[in-house]
Amino acid sequence: MVSRKVVGPCLVAIVLLVGRLGTLSHAAFPERPKLIVLIVIDQFRYDYLTRFRPHFTAKGFNLLLDGGAVFTDCRYDYASTITGPGHASLATGAYPNQHGIIDNEWYDRTQHRAVYCVEDLSTHTVASQNGPGPTPAFSPRNLIGSTLGDELRAATDFRSKVIAISLKDRAAILLGGHTATAAYWYEAGSGRFVTSTYYESALPPWVETFNQRAPARDFCGQVWKALPVRPGDTGTVFSEFHPSPGEPCPDPRFLGWLNDTPFMNEIELAFASEAVRGEHLGQGEDTDLLAVSLSVNDYVGHASGPYSEQVSDTTLRTDRDLAKFFADLDKQVGLDHVWIALSADHGVAPNPAFIQEHHLGLGNAQPGAIRGGVEKAMSESLGPGPWVEDADELYVYLNRDTVKKRRIPEARAEEVAAQAAAAQPDVAAAFTRTQFLTGTLPNSPLARKAANSFNPKRSGDVFIVLAPYAVPVVAATGTSHGSPWNYDTQVPLVLWGDAFKAGVYAKPCQPIDLAATLAAVLGITQSSESEGRPLTDAIR
């Protein structure tokens, strides 16, 4: 009697456990989708999703926000929040200390010049119309290690297609990785999408057709005016193009105007839809990856700042443009077979006028004064220079010839330079190369973020962290990003599709978790240096 009473529930428990394990092991391997669409919005703060949500349509951002796993506290844990590093971090699941893209461009000591993050002098732009002769092009050669796309390609014996698109060459190239089927970007001077000989020697017919149709022509005569969001809105005019008499459209002058309007997202997403069609994405046996980085949000944000009507209107238009793009994806592939991931490469600081008006901080930073201050302090305490070989708002590269000639230990020279930089009113902290290399950084979140940005082979001798709300721009209305402060680091992270549990997740995460989560759910190898953590709470 006694044993029956005990055994009965045990059996039930075992049966339940076996049943549960069965379900679990089945659920741990969701079916791969036909297509993954990664949408990166260049310069898009997390708060844009909440501030502007009352004016979103049903099937744009709200498609993802209503049906996806939405992370509300997703922040980059590094200190150089810039386009090149941000896209490389999203693609690799690692930070610049590993993937090596420390900035959009950096000073190269061996060549004594600045190198661009995706420059590759052995390549040419395919089908460039930027003047006579071959235009030098770009490749992912400077990116260290593999991306999500590279691992997906390798896992499927390169049957998966990986296509990356942006207005910016660096955004497309870094998102795609080394083995991308192709990366396409926009040649602003000619209004065409182009690529590099790194990927292919001629544009595929669908790209040629798209270019020949000259999509910019659809916007000739249009005015950039605020979308009406409330009854009675007449719409502020933000900018309009005034053609000279008889001037054809689209001509280079018009293209220059168009480039700073949110109409560019319409063109870019139309190109992305054509890529799905032309490359038959989502039609094969294996999962394809389409990565799209929307660049014009960054151009508008730099010019006007995050609290401007222009950024508000651009965000609402992005919502409408995405709704149209998603509807086309549904038609072409079927959204049931698609996963969509949304994030951004960085946020942005308010513009200096806003910062000063609300007493948040200095407003403008003066990187030129930092360089001058370092040169002066080093000359005074260590003898005549030149001591600074190159400097920008992130790094000081010391003149090693002078350091050698004056027989100053490198660590001492760096220390004097760092102290001089840190003494400037617009600098929060300065760390030395020796501190990074010897593990003697202060034990602080700020130092950790700087360390994630520091790559021993490419970084300078002093790493500068500008003070909160000290923005490296000259004008009061323009603004920028690139700091470790939350206005620059906090971005959206949304995962949408049948593999993810819809909901709002307040648990802190990082954008590098995006690639790690997708790799985990796909059941493929994590990219080579990925330190991102799969967001297991959100996985079905």
CB 194 within 8 A of CB 212: no
Q: Rounded distance, CA 536 to CA 540, Å?
A: 8
Characterize the bridge pairing of strands 136-138 and 119-126: antiparallel
CB 33 within 8 A of CB 338: yes
The nearer residue to Zn ion, 186 or 500, going by C-beta atoms, is 186
Size, binding site for Zn ion by CB under 5 A: 1
The nearer residue to Zn ion, 63 or 79, going by C-beta atoms, is 79
**Residue-by-residue DSSP string for 102-129:** -SSEEEETTTTEEEETTEEEEEEEET--
Q: Cβ of residue 480: shortest distance to Zn ion, in angstroms?
A: 7
Residue 22: strand pairing partners: none
CB 95 within 8 A of CB 77: yes
Q: Rounded distance, CA 306 to CA 348, Å?
A: 7
Q: Please choose, out of 45-53, 245-253, 291-299, 490-498, the segment that lies near Zn ion by the rule CB under 5 A.
A: 291-299
Q: Is 298 in the site for Zn ion (CB under 5 A)?
A: yes
Q: Cβ of residue 320: shortest distance to Zn ion, in angstroms?
A: 23
Q: Is 103 in the site for Zn ion (CB under 5 A)?
A: no
The nearer residue to Zn ion, 165 or 451, going by C-beta atoms, is 165
Q: Cβ of residue 429: shortest distance to Zn ion, in angstroms?
A: 23
CB 489 within 8 A of CB 81: yes
Where do the DSSP E strands lie in 59-161?
Answer: 69-71, 105-108, 113-116, 119-126, 136-138
Which residue sits closest to Zn ion, CB atoms considered?
Answer: 298
Among candidate residues 154, 177, 176, the one with its CA nearest the CA of residue 164: 176
Q: Is 513 in the site for Zn ion (CB under 5 A)?
A: no
Residue 149: strand pairing partners: none
Q: Cβ of residue 482: shortest distance to Zn ion, in angstroms?
A: 8
Q: Cβ of residue 164: shortest distance to Zn ion, in angstroms?
A: 18
- Tokens 């997708």 belong to 518
Q: Cβ of residue 346: shortest distance to Zn ion, in angstroms?
A: 7
The nearer residue to Zn ion, 84 or 497, going by C-beta atoms, is 84
**Which 428-487 residues touch Zn ion, going by CB under 5 A?**
none
CA dihedral 36, 41, 45, 51 (to 10 degrees): -90
The nearer residue to Zn ion, 480 or 530, going by C-beta atoms, is 480
Q: Rounded distance, CA 360 to CA 339, Å?
A: 40
- Tokens 């206005």 belong to 487
The nearer residue to Zn ion, 470 or 495, going by C-beta atoms, is 470
Cα atoms in the Cβ-side hemisphere of radius 13 Å centred on 508: 6
The nearer residue to Zn ion, 298 or 426, going by C-beta atoms, is 298
Q: Cβ of residue 188: shortest distance to Zn ion, in angstroms?
A: 15
Q: Cβ of residue 228: shortest distance to Zn ion, in angstroms?
A: 29
- Token code pair at residue 176: 């795609």
The nearer residue to Zn ion, 150 or 298, going by C-beta atoms, is 298
Q: Cβ of residue 129: shortest distance to Zn ion, in angstroms?
A: 26
Residue 114: strand pairing partners: 107
Q: Cβ of residue 303: shortest distance to Zn ion, in angstroms?
A: 11
Among candidate residues 37, 515, 31, the one with its CA nearest the CA of residue 276: 37
Q: Rounded distance, CA 48 to CA 46, Å?
A: 5
Q: Rounded distance, CA 403 to CA 313, Å?
A: 52
Q: Please choose, out of 182-190, 298-306, 307-315, 461-469, the segment that lies near Zn ion by the rule CB under 5 A.
A: 298-306
Q: Which residues contact 515 (CB under 8 A, 6 or more apart)?
A: 90, 91, 92, 93, 147, 148, 527, 530, 532
Q: Rounded distance, CA 296 to CA 480, Å?
A: 14
User: 309-332 and 263-278 helices cross at what angle (nearest 10)?
Assistant: 20
Residue 193: strand pairing partners: 186
Q: Which residues are catalytic?
A: 83
Among candidate residues 475, 456, 453, 455, the one with its CA nearest the CA of residue 464: 453
Q: Please choose, out of 2-10, 121-129, 297-305, 413-421, the segment that lies near Zn ion by the rule CB under 5 A.
A: 297-305
Among candidate residues 233, 243, 318, 279, the one with its CA nearest the CA of residue 60: 318
Q: Please choose, out of 23-31, 70-78, 292-300, 315-323, the segment that lies near Zn ion by the rule CB under 5 A.
A: 292-300
Biggest distance spanned by C-alpha atoms of the chain: 102
The nearer residue to Zn ion, 266 or 298, going by C-beta atoms, is 298
Q: Which residues contact 51 (CB under 8 A, 6 or more apart)?
A: 312
The nearer residue to Zn ion, 27 or 475, going by C-beta atoms, is 475
Q: Which residues bind Zn ion (CB under 5 A)?
A: 298
